[in-house]
Structure 1
Amino acid sequence: MTVENPRRALGVVFFIVFIDLLGFGILIPVIPLYALSFGATEFVGSLLIASYSAMQFLAAPFLGRISDARGRRPVLLLSLSGSVIAWLLFGVAGSLTVLFVARMLAGAMGGNIATAQAYIADITAAEDRAKGLGLLGAAFGLGFVFGPALGGFFASEPVIAAARSVLPAFVPVSEFSLPSFAAALITGCNLVVAFFVLPESRPPEVRDRSPDPRYSRESRVELLLSALRTRGLGTLVVSFFLVSFAFSALESQFIFLTNDQYSYGATENALILTYVGIVLAVVQGGLVGPLTNRFGEYRLVVGGAAIQVVTLAVVPFSPVLGRLVPEVGRLLPVGPTLVPGVLALLAVMTPLSFGNALTNVSLNTLVSRSAGDEEQGGAFGLTQSAGSLARTFGPALAGGLYTAIGFWAPFVVGGALMIPILVLLGRLDRKTVTATTA
């Protein structure tokens, strides 16, 4: 570690990732409707959503390796600059084609998460790495808690009317463009902060020993396949892929499920998803560190995956479970009626979110331990690519199962995909990835 004040640097990275995800989260409730406004079908709208993960898959290892060779700071600044351009382009898009271009550029810049993970690995000791990565996960959770809420705020009629009264006539103002401009402004402020306060975490002598990514002839798929053949790391990459693939069933189909089962719209779903985001943030930011000290990363990965086997499969059957819960009416004077099935759904989503948080943070920590000090960026880039690839194809499969078989199918299949993770981890030689887990 060469950073003079690692704790301060950790706080800066936390802030950068949080603001970056906040800008991303603002557009979550906007993107599907934006696509439909150009005459796209729901399937094309899903492709627009998936295009972000597809580009993230391609870009993450490349950005990670560049950060190994050139430093973390330049990559983070470059990605934030690209995100500002992407969100501005998103706001002024006059066609579906431009919308796809903006979304794909944003996805490519979203590959900076691997660099942020590597930065954490640079400035933390091995025994504190789980806590550091847990804070990064908390930044994710908080970004997804407050981002969609801000998106709904900027898309509301009063805010749009106020913006039209103060902005020049040539600035397009709508429920779609205003959240996009807000995301660009927030990310731009993030860029300024990072430029002035973020130190470099890799000294020149370490960067000089890293291979120049320009001369690598390996494709992203070849790098991923190479990682799969690496003892220990391959198992972790496959596990990361399966976790992301399975959880994408929940992420992509949850609103369909609540709409079909409870006739919930965006407002009601936002409340539920905000609750889920809070659980993720609390676990990743506050509980992972102490739990890791007590049980070790390996046990947390196994325990988190086991929890998700059951809870993912149970999610669609919450109406049945809810029949055991008495009617409670309204939780607040304003808000959705919490029918028994919704209470059961929240009861299931709580351990599901807890298990997913444990699995993601602990897997990332084991990946960090399995790679050398000079390979942190590349290793995290590979796992980020595996997750992005899963989130590209996972929603397509989940949507097909939902339509062809039934509302329960993607969730049950998602839970079943956690079982191979338990098998893979059970066969893993723990000494190849960690020397400290108990």
Structure 2
Amino acid sequence: MTNRLPILVILATVTIDAMGIGLIIPVMPDLIGEVMGGDLADAAIWGGILATVFAVMQFLCGPLLGNLSDRYGRRRVLLVSLAVMSADYVIMALANSMWLLVVGRIIAGITAATYATALAYMADISKPEDKAKAFGLIGAGIGIGFVLGPALGGLLAQFGTRAPFWAAAILAGGNALLGWFVLKETVTDATRRAFEWRRANPLGALEALGRLPSMSKLLVVFFLYQVAAAVYPAIWPYFIIERFGWGEGMIGLSLTAYGLCYAIVQATLIGPTVKWLGNRRTVVVGLTLEAVALVYLGIIDTGLLLFIGIPIAALSTVGLPALQGIMSRRVSDDAQGELQGISSSLTSLAHILAPLVMTQTFAYFSSDHAILYLPGAPFLLAALLMVFSIVVFQNSRGGK
């Protein structure tokens, strides 16, 4: 990577995006209860619906924006996405009905291609052997955002459930303004590709990548990983309230602790681990640790054990950047945006399925009529999916 300033701007972009997400997580249970009433289980189910709406739009628009960035440039897509995202947070801050919250999540899903475009930008400016490390830096930026976001969200919650949304709107708008002056374009005439609606179709794009040699199993592994990992944003605040009786402040603190550990792992361990073990063994180690961490979270019953398990959960995230590195090295330079758009679509498909399944599982196993009271059941379900992903990956081939 030869130009550090664009890297810093891209990392700032994903950091602020993650801050915006982390800002609102601590207040979502109370916000939903404030808008529509009901108990915690009802709030969790509606939270799952809002997350699914977001993911549906992300799935539909991910390949479109990825292909647009291949044609018109990463810079333009990033700036427009950030500006609209800022407006979306204003809508969420003013929403007084579930329908307005749904509209806000629709807009947020459309603009959420920032992550995929940021990955494509990093792929553009990285050497093949540095791609896993570059993706790890993106993960570190997200981790830093989750350190700062939940902590700030927990503090702002004392001013009301809407205060974090106003803060997120200001952050996204400010980052768009910064990017306007600083961000440089990486798509050149040599790598620019004509836009084709066929390739922008989410299902058509998935079929295109599925035809690449030995890519299908890696895509399955990536999808299973994303389904399992989606248990965290889908369940965390509701699980924390039900299991430990904590409020917004402690929810924010627990997310901050996880984000800090995550950022440290992504910033310092990805490169050395891949150099030491290679991409494939790093993926296996990461997936195995993920399964262990999910089982642990599923059975704990005290807050102290939660904080003890957070570093293990963060350490397990070494596997995803290595998997992304393997996938990125198997496509040409003029298709990096398309790859990240498809990766975004797979993530969105996972986030369409996971919130509904995980929140329904949580609602049942935390209810009075459950055959077994086990609020951590969604984590155990996610652990099973992670184990299956290990089996599929071990049967794939290629990529060191």
1:395 maps to which residue? 355
Give the letter for the 2:255 counterpart.
L
1:167 maps to which residue? none
1:45 maps to which residue? 47
Q: Does 1:143 align with 2:145?
A: yes
SS of the equivalent of 2:212 reads coil
Report deviation, 1:218.
Answer: 6.1
Q: Distance in 2 between matches of 1:45 and 1:309?
A: 25
Q: Distance in 2 between matches of 1:64 and 1:115?
A: 6
Aligned positions of 1:361-372 closer than 5 A? 361-372=321-332
Distance 1:178 1:401, change over 3 A: closer
Aligned mate of 1:11, from 8, 21, 36: 8
Distance 1:45 1:252, change over 3 A: closer
**1:228-280 Cα shifts (integer Å, max 9, x gaps):** 34333222221111111112224323333333333222222222221111111
Q: Distance in 1 between matches of 2:47 and 2:125?
A: 40
Conserved? CA contact 2:63–2:200, under 8 Å: no
Conserved? CA contact 1:21–1:144, under 8 Å: yes
TM-score by length of 1: 0.83
**1:21-47 Cα shifts (integer Å, max 9, x gaps):** 222322222333333322264223331
1:422 maps to which residue? 390
2:87 maps to which residue? 85
Q: State the identity as a percent.
A: 32
Conserved? CA contact 1:36–1:45, under 8 Å: no
Distance 1:261 1:102, change over 3 A: closer
1:354 maps to which residue? 315
Q: Distance in 2 between matches of 1:130 and 1:316?
A: 30
Distance 1:121 1:146, change over 3 A: same
**1:294-340 Cα shifts (integer Å, max 9, x gaps):** 11111111111111222211222223xxxxxxxxxxxxxxxxxxxxx
Give the letter for the 2:123 counterpart.
A
1:331 maps to which residue? none
SS of the equivalent of 2:228 reads helix
Aligned mate of 2:344, from 373, 384, 401: 384
Q: Does 1:122 align with 2:124?
A: yes
**1:198-245 Cα shifts (integer Å, max 9, x gaps):** 0001112321xx1313x3276313322443343332222211111111
Larger radius of gyration: 1
Give the letter for the 2:289 counterpart.
I
Gap regions ≥5 residues in structure 2: 366-373
**1:70-105 Cα shifts (integer Å, max 9, x gaps):** 111111011011111111222222432222112211
2:369 maps to which residue? none
Q: Does 1:410 align with 2:378?
A: yes
2:29 maps to which residue? 32
Distance 1:217 1:233, change over 3 A: closer
Give the letter for the 1:260 counterpart.
E
**1:356-391 Cα shifts (integer Å, max 9, x gaps):** x21221122112112110110111111121112212
Conserved? CA contact 1:308–1:415, under 8 Å: yes
Conserved? CA contact 2:227–2:350, under 8 Å: yes
Report deviation, 1:352.
Answer: 2.0
Aligned mate of 1:231, from 208, 213, 231: 213
1:199 maps to which residue? 184
Of 344-353 and 283-292, deviating more is 344-353
2:368 maps to which residue? none
Aligned mate of 1:286, from 268, 274, 281: 268
Give the letter for the 1:369 counterpart.
R
**1:94-121 Cα shifts (integer Å, max 9, x gaps):** 4322221122111210112111001000
Give the letter for the 2:244 counterpart.
Y
Report deviation, 1:397.
Answer: 1.0
Distance 1:316 1:94, change over 3 A: closer
Gap regions ≥5 residues in structure 1: 158-174, 320-340
2:59 maps to which residue? 57
TM-score by length of 2: 0.90
Q: Tell me: higher relative CO, structure 1 or 2? Use CA pairs within 8 A at least 6 residues apart.
A: 2
Aligned positions of 1:89-104 closer than 5 A? 89-104=91-106
Structural RMSD (CA): 2.0
Aligned positions of 1:100-111 closer than 5 A? 100-111=102-113
Q: Distance in 2 between matches of 1:31 and 1:345?
A: 21
SS of the equivalent of 1:206 reads coil
Of 218-227 and 291-300, deviating more is 218-227
Runs of 4+ that moved beyond 6 A: none
